[in-house]
Chains A and B, each alone.
Chain A
Amino acid sequence: MSTSDSPQQWGALQWAGTVLLWLWVLVPFGYGLYQLLIKIPALFGT
């Protein structure tokens, strides 16, 4: 038995759900990452 873990088998609903879920976690993570990255140039005196 298998589930459709291969993207070729996904329907539009699965694609939308998966993208939405990844955005749910990646958007806050990206915000935190941006806040971190803007501190790094000071390390090199810029």
Chain B
Amino acid sequence: MAVGFLQRERIVAPPGWSRWLIPPAALSIHLAIGQAYAWSVFKPPLEAGLEISGVLSALPFTLGIIMLGLSAAVFGTKVDANGPRWAMLTASACFVTGFLISAVGLYLGQYWLVIVGYGFVGGIGLGIGYISPVSTLIKWFPDRPGLSTGIAIMGFGGGALIASPLTQQLLSTFGATGDNPSVPGIGNTFLVMGLIYAVFMSVGWLLIRVPPEGWAPAGWNASAEKERPLVSSAHVSASNSIKTPQFWLLWVVLCFNVTAGIGILERAAPIYRDFFPDATTPQALAAAAAGFVAILSLANAIGRILWSSTSDFLGRKNMYRIYLGVGALLYLLLALAQNGNKVVFLIACMVILSFYGAGFATVPAYLRDLFGTYQVGAIHGRLLTAWSTAGVLGPLIVNAIADAQIAAGVQGPGRYTMSFYIMIGLLVVGFVCNELIRPVDPKFHEPDRSGAAQAGAAA
């Protein structure tokens, strides 16, 4: 019974099924797992309640992001083989179990259970959940792959928007705020959030459907699509994809585009305070810095759907030319103009952050163009190791340089000038790598194209 329920044959869409039911199913997974970006809300009560350091309180999140990259890479092929319902249910089970283990750990005063539960078990849920709807969306929306994956991946960014106020509210309700927070109260917050996410995510695995074999949207001309530059009609397996230069060029493109965005995102509030310290009161300055973080989060989320959708018309390679080329010019503008004009500063930062989010959202469609739909989920999973690398690289560069500048007594925007020039260099390298991307050599194509296409259509 359980195996049958998860089988791919059980979720082939019947006649009359609308493809517009697929994005909400995908969003119910991504909006939930995007909670990971709101982990920082848990840090103050954990540090005060358990008397642990900032490094230790960050460990569940750090381990979770590492597990995201690893599990996406390791389980990607299984996700493509078993289908999206299996993947979504597995992701939900891992993610929710992570919360429940953490709650038990806090009731028992055993912090290592939070690290193992949220970081390790929950992190596996993050990785499988992140890639679970991608190939299905691409197959339902062959005419608009950028739009469909943009919606889902915007959901991952939006997950933190929901989780952050929800967590604050629950912590407050259970007396887990202030200087002496209740540790069982933090546990209650984990428990309730786990239960909420279990219900919320169930819509995803209950409603997800794959298109019937040979299905295509009405009026869509597949042959016209394949005539576009870089759009392949062939299919490449996940194991073959990593033997191609295209995969590694795209790996560098994604890694450096993410690194450049994290450069601002990681230190957004201190950057704002250093650029524009002239507020009337410290409270007003803190509120303005929080507003700056909020506006960047908004730009990040909007960029995911706006630019990714635009890529369906302009082409993936052209979009990355914009992300990387215009991004480098905007960083140059920030380095040269410094704090001369606040409006220019805000617009430049917002556009840079919109390109950061768009880099994530556009890459599944770029992979589809290059490698076909056969194992695009698994290939995407392997590519996400670039994200994990950038997650270490970006903060390392910006924090190390800013700390050194502060130690040297540098004041104001000058603390970040060197970081900005490094980001320009990375973006230029990424731009060159994008220029070097050509169609995949036919020797990497699956020998039986029709068979591969059918397997892909069924996945």
Contacts and interface: CB of A to CB of B under 8 A. Distances in A.
A39 B294 contact: yes
A43 B165 contact: no
Contact of B27 (A4, A14, A25, A42): A25
B232 to A, nearest CB: 24
A19 B322 CA distance: 35
B18, B212, B295 pick with most chain A CB within 10 angstroms: B18
Contacts of B14: 3
B24 A6 contact: no
Contacts, number: 107
The SS class assigned to the B binding surface is helix
The SS class assigned to the A binding surface is helix
Contact of A31 (B24, B160, B165, B287): B165
A33 B295 contact: no
Interface residues of A, number: 29
Contact of B294 (A10, A25, A40): A40
B16 A3 contact: yes
Taking residues whose C-beta sits less than 8 angstroms from the other chain, chain B's interface range is 35 or more
A5, A17, A36, A43 pick with most chain B CB within 10 angstroms: A5
Interface stretch (B111-119, B213-221, B308-316, B329-337): B213-221
Given A5-B18, A14-B16, A36 B292 contact: no
Contact of B162 (A21, A32, A41): A32
Contacts of A42: 284, 287-288, 290-291
A1 interface: yes
Q: Which 4 A-B pairs have the closest CB atoms?
A: A32-B161, A43-B291, A42-B287, A32-B162
